[in-house]
Amino acid sequence: MVKLQQPWVFFSIFMLLQTTLFHLSYADVGTASHYSNPGVATACFGNDVSQFPTSNLFAAAGDGIWDNGASCGRQYLVRCISAATPGTCNPSETIQIRIVDRADTSVSRPSTNGATIVLSTTAFGAIANPSAASVNIEFQQ
């Protein structure tokens, strides 16, 4: 009877290790750049000043998440995961941003073209050194 219990114990330990070491992640990975205040007119909400959160944590959607305008108003959790210069990211910070514009058509130009998300200067500064042009991010809706 002892021999039957040993495989079960090893299997239980193996399954416990599997579930603790390998968890599922639902976030996407991309790049973020930053831009200054786009003014009031945006691709998502026109001239509505209430589109901007009072925290100034907003962003413009890059082509990868624009989705023909369906991304307007979406909120994302964003965190910096790496950058070309070590120490650029503030890894302990995760911010929640709101999409209010389209990066390709925004009045204010992004610091780097082709980014997944173009963050407001306030949002970018919360997760990374604002002197960086772009960073690698993890984001989740």
The CA–CA distances, whole Å, from 49 to 38, 40, 44, 53, 56 equal 11, 6, 12, 9, 12
The per-residue pLDDT for range 95-138, each reduced to its tens digit, is 999 999 999 888 778 888 999 999 999 999 999 999 999 999 99
Residue whose pair of structure tokens reads 């589109």 in the numeric block: 51
Q: What letters, b where the CB count within 10 A reaches 16 and e where it falls short, cover 3-15?
A: eeeeeeeeeeeee
Give CA–CA dist 116/32, Å, rounded: 6
Residue-wise pLDDT tens digits, 61-94: 999 999 999 999 999 999 999 999 999 999 899 9
- Domains of the chain: residue spans and CATH: 26-140 (2.40.40.10)
Residue type at 93? E
- For residue 19, pLDDT over 80 is answered with no
Of residues 86, 100, 98, 96, the one with CA closest to residue 128: 86
The Cα–Cα gap between 108 and 62 comes to: 14
pLDDT of residue 111: 87
